[in-house]
Chain A
Amino acid sequence: MTRSAEAVLGAEEDVRRPLEPIEVEEGASLWGDAWHRLKRNRLALFSLFTFIAIVLFCVVGPYFSSWDGEQQDLIRGASAPSADHWFGTDTLGRDLMVRTMEGGRISLLVGLVATIVALLIGVVYGATAGYVGGRVDAAMMRFVDILYALPFTIFVILLMVAFGRSLWLMFVAIGCVEWLSMARIVRSGVIALRRQEFIEAAVSLGYSHRRIIFRHLIPNVIGPVIVIATLTVPAVMLLEAFLSFLGLGVQPPNASWGVLINEGQQNMEIFPWLLIFPAFFFALTLFSLNFLGDGLRDALDPKSARD
């Protein structure tokens, strides 16, 4: 019986083969379409370029500077922006531009890694709940609802206190609290897909649940996932900066934008540039990511309302 089913499906595939190029074109045009829509959204496009510029500035920038972030000039101390030091120097005489770039590296790294952690947890959790459905789904989502109601920042703080303040722990701790919206969105996407014919076909072919979830369901919800991931990055960076600001995040000699903003805040009466430069780059990054995420949402998922 299986064989005959396979034969039938095989035959069906043969019939469909000539159509395949068209399907491929359609697949490409989904992304092409999205890119087209994104291009028309000036603000999102501008945000994309701003963000790329910031990333380049932070990642490549230090190699072009004649200063390095740890080199102190205690005699100079804090000095205002000048031809030598474009952003000025901090209280230990370190070049603020390089410090800002290096801080940006860490902030961006946290944003990236913690988002990936959140993505992995959220996608697997949401897809499982949506695919299994029924009581399991109800229980899993109730759990998410309850977690939503928890004071998360407090828990991240507790985690940081309990396990020492290492960078890697922070990635995990932040990722562990930012996966909730991801799980919700993946779940609703999976529920919408589950009833479609191609899933039915996969089930009748006897594919394992794992294969169906990972090969058929998840690739089809990738659009909304990209959107929510883009919006998770700034949320994560915000949390990291918040922790670092309180002295619970990134520890010296490492610096992130949160650390720099904190240092700047303490000295802002006398040396306002110490606050202004890091705060400017941090805010600009958050802006560009938020606008880019909004733009991507409109581009990839035109049906969804904006807020």
Chain B
Amino acid sequence: MLKFIAKRFAQGVLVLLAIYALTFFLVAMTPGSPFSGERAIRPEILAQIEAHYGYDRPFFERFWTSLSNAVRGEFGPSAVYANRSVTEIISESFPVSLKLGSLSLLLALLIGIPTGVIAAVKRNTLLDYVPMSTAMVGICLPTFVMGPLLALVFGLMLNLLPVSGWYGPRYMVLPAATLGLYYAAYFARLTRGGMLEMLNQDFVRTARAKGVPESTIVWKHCLKGGLIPAITFLGPALAGIISGSFVVETIFQIPGLGQWFVRGALNRDDFLILGLTVLFAALIVVMNLLADIAHVLLNPRLKYE
């Protein structure tokens, strides 16, 4: 187990390095520089600004400096917002995004998994059809359709909840629901599929023949295995929640990382893009690692691989 974790950890570090290099390369290849904006700047001044940010150094030297700084958690200055460092921006906005993201993921799991289990156990009844059709609808309604619709109905028509800003728990409901419900639908479908597969196994038939109560079969024998598809989906779900947060934070005007990333991309704020990409990638890599570990814990057969 330890060896497995170490191996996956090393792999994760490699992936992160690759992402860093790729992102750096992409950003460096972009024509122009973040400072050549709408305002006309005299070339010598532009050269001086670029020198200040280290743009005049050779490619590999820049890469090396930026990488060694990044390892120490220092992502450089923001190229667009003068006098602010990327690390500062991250430490300011990350808590907001973290709260929104974890709330959404929690919501997705708390709704999705029980729904999936119930649908599998009561398959081909109303308790299966209704939630599963709803889930299909949920999957077809992306965040940027769901968000405005929720805001329109609950915020503007019913006047129940605020639709923009980030000042307290009431402001979290609609954004978290927008992000969470979409993944709740996914988790419900995956859990249902996983549970159905387990319920069709031979050992379940044996258990039933021995007269084991149905609840024990579901909760003790099947749940562990049935959850595997949902657990494997945790990594992609987090990735989706992160990119979904770009949209949700724009719709509900939440001062989180997603908005910074979109703004950074639009303004070509090189250091900000690089720092945020690495942060997002690191989160996803960690989540995938946790999912892998959970996967092995849930499926003992994998231990011997």
Q: Which residues of A contact B (CB under 8 A)?
A: 146, 148-155, 157-163, 234, 238, 241-242, 245-248, 258, 261-262, 264-265, 268-269, 272, 275, 279, 282-283, 286-287, 290-291, 305-307
8 CB < 8 A contacts A-B: A151-B242, A151-B243, A152-B239, A154-B243, A162-B26, A246-B246, A265-B148, A283-B145
- List of B residues within 8 angstroms of A160 by Cβ: 265
Contact in complex: B284, A245 (CB < 8 Å): no
- Which chain B residue lies CB-closest to A160? B265
Using A246-B247, A268-B152 as known contacts, say yes or no to A290 and B266 having CB atoms under 8 A apart.
no
- List of A residues within 8 angstroms of B29 by Cβ: 162
Using A154-B280, A158-B265 as known contacts, say yes or no to A242 and B243 having CB atoms under 8 A apart.
yes
Contact in complex: B144, A151 (CB < 8 Å): no
- Tell me, yes or no, whether B281 is within 8 Å of chain A by CB: yes
Using A162-B26, A241-B142, A265-B148 as known contacts, say yes or no to A150 and B19 having CB atoms under 8 A apart.
yes
Measured CB to CB, the closest approach of chain A to B171, in angstroms, equals: 17
Give the complex CA separation of A283 and B192 in angstroms: 24
- List of B residues within 8 angstroms of A272 by Cβ: 152
Give the complex CA separation of A48 and B237 in angstroms: 29
- List of A residues within 8 angstroms of B152 by Cβ: 268, 272, 275
Give the complex CA separation of A207 and B198 in angstroms: 44
- Tell me, yes or no, whether B285 is within 8 Å of chain A by CB: yes
Q: Which residues of B contact A (CB under 8 A)?
A: 11, 15, 18-19, 22-23, 26-27, 29-30, 136-137, 139-142, 144-145, 147-149, 151-152, 156, 189-190, 192-193, 196-197, 235-236, 239, 242-243, 246-247, 250-251, 261-262, 265-266, 268, 273, 277, 280-281, 284-285, 288
Using A158-B27, A246-B246 as known contacts, say yes or no to A275 and B148 having CB atoms under 8 A apart.
yes
Using A162-B27, A272-B152 as known contacts, say yes or no to A258 and B144 having CB atoms under 8 A apart.
yes
Q: Is the interface of B mostly helix, strand, loop or mixed?
A: helix
Measured CB to CB, the closest approach of chain B to A240, in angstroms, equals: 11
Give the complex CA separation of A272 and B147 in angstroms: 14
Contact in complex: B277, A151 (CB < 8 Å): yes
Give the complex CA separation of A238 and B143 in angstroms: 10
Contact in complex: A242, B144 (CB < 8 Å): yes
- List of A residues within 8 angstroms of B239 by Cβ: 151-153
Q: Quick one: which of A152, A155, A248, A268 contacts B266, CB cutoff 8 A?
A: A248
Give the complex CA separation of A158 and B243 in angstroms: 13
Contact in complex: A290, B136 (CB < 8 Å): yes
- List of B residues within 8 angstroms of A258 by Cβ: 144
Choose among A146, A149, A242, A265 the residue with the greatest number of B CB atoms under 10 Å from its CB.
A149
Using A265-B144, A265-B251, A307-B193 as known contacts, say yes or no to A151 and B284 having CB atoms under 8 A apart.
yes
Give the complex CA separation of A149 and B16 in angstroms: 10
Contact in complex: A159, B144 (CB < 8 Å): no
Give the complex CA separation of A306 and B235 in angstroms: 22
Give the complex CA separation of A283 and B288 in angstroms: 30
Give the complex CA separation of A148 and B232 in angstroms: 12
Given A150-B15, A154-B261, A305-B193, 19 new contacts (CB under 8 A): A148-B236, A149-B285, A149-B288, A151-B280, A151-B284, A158-B26, A161-B266, A161-B268, A241-B144, A242-B144, A247-B262, A248-B266, A261-B144, A262-B144, A265-B147, A279-B149, A282-B145, A283-B140, A307-B190
Measured CB to CB, the closest approach of chain B to A298, in angstroms, equals: 14
Give the complex CA separation of A70 and B8 in angstroms: 54
Give the complex CA separation of A279 and B197 in angstroms: 36
Contact in complex: B145, A279 (CB < 8 Å): yes
